[in-house]
Structure 1
């Protein structure tokens, strides 16, 4: 995507070895911009293969610009537009740095070439046209959902409760149960859909809300309100702070939590700005949580990967080791065919109005396999099981109690509990 009118600002060829990654995973390659220019284009070239992944990011004189990880090999930044994952801004004079992440370096090493060019508007236009287009508004009952339709959560929750065919969900002190998903990605990191496309998909799945949690960036945040109104769903600002020692979602409109800051400070930063941090997929293979767990945390106890081995008891075991953990769930949707769709699993929050993050902070959550499946909710000192006839209600050290109706309300002590079938597959949980 280069133009005849380009000026090379940096060209570096470098071999990386495992010892380099062990020394420092994030490397900065500095270059100078002698005067303010219209746009820059950064290209990262290397022979990608299994076990070999390099990440790409950018920092400018004003600070962090963005991150695309291993999802892109070429990005542009200008005042009018930037590649998703990066914040549009003037390309000011001063020292800039290409950030190279040594995510996976094979034993025999990897050779990369980084090139930075000053480019004109035609290059920016070319990059912009290559991005996927936003879809039309969701059509429901013969009418488009748009900005004039009022609260997205009110619209979705009405249709949701009607579709379940079981009457009103329990209402506690004027609060309302809303259904959603706390983990998803767009083209602003390694997802395949633009913000609007993801919103349309989540709305079609019957969700009230969706947290959009792209990796190490908040460049998607400005697009969330309009996309949510357009498609009739509340989009919660989020960010997946991603390091090799663990991933964490920061939920709420709290600005950037720099992934290069000490992980021990992520929760403090989120809380100080009015948000919440959640430990992601704590048992997630090579992205498991390898840091201490503060109590009581919020954690993605139910990740979509659980569906691959439904009888896997480790997620429950991890939760029971930290019983004060507030459980949430996430599909971790990137693109169709690679992950479960939004709402698998579904997290339910008992919210005041649309204050979804506040409900999580207060610990008013429950998780189910899907939006229309069996559900277990806490109603004061009672548990309400819905669409759960034939399942067993149980918890740590508790007998398994078979439920004999679609709607059952029983007295219960606080603490983890769940619904499981005769094969020990979990269908819903709450605390």
Structure 2
């Protein structure tokens, strides 16, 4: 691995200490995985004045190098920031290579930690843009979306490079760091969304808990997302930008009696993605670990301590690093339907269904399913799909309680609604996510009423598989607890590929049967 510091064209004086140390490199432990640290970039005093033709009060350094195949997940570039700096600005570029068919090309992410350090789960995080941006800035009163405004304090900052994939030839990179001196300005106090909206009392509420704005790799502003959520008939949304909480104060004035905005994050590791759903505003959850590091349990508990739910996302997605490898022991729910229905969603649905039989027999813990859009940009449809949850009111606490209990179903849009109940011969009654207490041979009646799913088929799915199908509408079926450990409903469109199930229009969480 190589690294060197060049003088920027506008900087005629390079710092001699930086010249000596930039080639030095070493390994250090972040608390999870081994990472690489490059030599320190040092600036001379950043007091006002021109450095050889640049803007007054600016100093710039340029670092170049090449990361080899097999580079660590994170490479840190230390930057010594002197006193008197108003703004730090960073840009970067890297080269793509000519690679054989089937070989991953270069992809390099970027973020930054301030003088408080890079400790895993520590307080030094100041922003992350992944591969969505080529430059960013931070100062007291403002920052690039994805980054945290605040004073640029003196000390050792670390630019974090994340070589996501590296071509066989290596990954050549170039990082340009500019420090600007001057009066700092003040940091505005954040205004966060309230945890409660007016709502309709105990009712079914529709939400989309996986959305991306321009604070990570999305293209929509928070205002555009809020408007589209209302147009989609949603009652609540959850912010889930990749690996940053920078958007949490960006929703000021966008909530209302009709829309609850929860704050969260999509923790994007190299071994899968997980939603922190409805955490306390301002909560940052670290992502710099793999399954082999045995650190996920700690951060799952951090999510819950911050008032959030742990929801593994798109567990069988086909993108690099997207498959969920941490298991479901810490999950409060699992996102089995992500965006337009695809074969990997079908795999996720069937894998989730396989877990229900064990929970049904033992009466033990089970993990509810949900669906979200993962919308980033046009034409991604917010609310497609959406989770419809029975909650006591439209508040963070009530929505989370309904999701965690599995009192929910998933629909492709607000046009699709269903009512699903199970009743016993002795007057017992159970709804979605509940258990009907019934003797093994006691007759049990399963009912579903579906609206808005024209041309679709409804199926009742049990631990034995699909036992009954009919055209979508008002459908009733008889069974017993000895014949079905649980029952849930699926609503599907006609098959697109002969011999394979049609895309989902809706599905429910189960009702368990038996004592």
TM-score range with shorter-chain normalisation?
0.7 to 0.9
Tell me: CA distance 1:205–1:269, structure 2 relative to 1, closer, same or farther (3 Å): same
User: Are the equivalent residues in 2 in contact too, given 1:376–1:418 (CA < 8 A)?
Assistant: no
1:289-308 superposed matches below 5 A: 289-294=324-329, 297-306=332-341, 308=342
Compute the displacement of 1:279 (Å).
Answer: 0.4
**Larger relative contact order (C-alpha < 8 A, sep ≥ 6)?**
1
Q: 1:11 aligns with which of 52, 55, 62?
A: 62
User: Are the equivalent residues in 2 in contact too, given 1:225–1:235 (CA < 8 A)?
Assistant: no
Q: Look up the match of 1:229.
A: 256
1:160-175 superposed matches below 5 A: 175=202
Residue 281, structure 1, aligned to residue 314, structure 2: yes
Say which structure is richer in helix.
Answer: 1
Q: Look up the match of 2:88.
A: 40
Q: 2:76 aligns with which of 28, 31, 48?
A: 28
SS at the partner of 2:263?
strand
Residue 258, structure 1, aligned to residue 283, structure 2: no
User: Are the equivalent residues in 2 in contact too, given 1:296–1:322 (CA < 8 A)?
Assistant: no
Compute the displacement of 1:409 (Å).
Answer: 6.6
Between 51-60 and 322-331, report the one with greater CA deviation.
322-331
Q: 2:401 aligns with which of 358, 371, 376?
A: 358
Compute the displacement of 1:417 (Å).
Answer: 3.6
1:400-415 superposed matches below 5 A: 400-403=467-470, 406-408=473-475, 414=486
Residues in 2 aligned to 1:119 and 1:215: alpha-carbon distance in whole angstroms:
28
TM-score, normalised by the number of residues in structure 1? 0.80
User: Are the equivalent residues in 2 in contact too, given 1:54–1:101 (CA < 8 A)?
Assistant: yes
User: Are the equivalent residues in 1 in contact too, given 2:332–2:404 (CA < 8 A)?
Assistant: no
In the comparison of the two structures, how many residue pairs are matched? 380
User: Are the equivalent residues in 2 in contact too, given 1:177–1:348 (CA < 8 A)?
Assistant: yes
Compute the displacement of 1:399 (Å).
Answer: 4.5
Compute the displacement of 1:303 (Å).
Answer: 0.9
Q: CA RMSD in A?
A: 3.0
Compute the displacement of 1:228 (Å).
Answer: 2.0
Q: Look up the match of 2:355.
A: 322
SS at the partner of 1:182?
strand
**After superposition, what is the alpha-carbon deviation per residue over 1:39-74, rounded to whole angstroms, capped at 9, x for unaligned?**
110111223577221111010023111100000111
SS at the partner of 1:260?
coil
Compute the displacement of 1:377 (Å).
Answer: 4.4
Residue ranges of structure 2 left out of the alignment (5+ in a row): 1-9, 11-53, 98-103, 117-123, 186-192, 290-294, 357-365, 422-430, 437-445, 480-484, 496-500, 510-515
Tell me: CA distance 1:110–1:296, structure 2 relative to 1, closer, same or farther (3 Å): closer
Compute the displacement of 1:87 (Å).
Answer: 0.8
Compute the displacement of 1:26 (Å).
Answer: 1.1
Tell me: CA distance 1:409–1:275, structure 2 relative to 1, closer, same or farther (3 Å): farther
TM-score, normalised by the number of residues in structure 2? 0.67
SS at the partner of 1:229?
coil
**After superposition, what is the alpha-carbon deviation per residue over 1:333-380, rounded to whole angstroms, capped at 9, x for unaligned?**
11113xx31111111111221232232223222111222125354536
User: Are the equivalent residues in 2 in contact too, given 1:41–1:75 (CA < 8 A)?
Assistant: yes
Rg larger for: 2
Compute the displacement of 1:108 (Å).
Answer: 1.2
Q: Look up the match of 1:138.
A: none
1:375-386 superposed matches below 5 A: 375=418, 377=420, 379=431, 381=436, 384-386=448-450
Residues in 1 aligned to 2:274 and 2:325: alpha-carbon distance in whole angstroms:
11
Tell me: CA distance 1:385–1:245, structure 2 relative to 1, closer, same or farther (3 Å): same
User: Are the equivalent residues in 2 in contact too, given 1:376–1:429 (CA < 8 A)?
Assistant: no
Compute the displacement of 1:283 (Å).
Answer: 0.4
Q: 2:130 aligns with which of 55, 66, 69?
A: 69
Residues in 1 aligned to 2:112 and 2:127: alpha-carbon distance in whole angstroms:
6
Residue 346, structure 1, aligned to residue 386, structure 2: yes
Residues in 2 aligned to 1:272 and 1:52: alpha-carbon distance in whole angstroms:
37
**After superposition, what is the alpha-carbon deviation per residue over 1:398-427, rounded to whole angstroms, capped at 9, x for unaligned?**
554344673457688645442235533222
Q: 1:395 aligns with which of 455, 461, 465?
A: 461
Residue 52, structure 1, aligned to residue 106, structure 2: yes
Residues in 1 aligned to 2:261 and 2:247: alpha-carbon distance in whole angstroms:
11
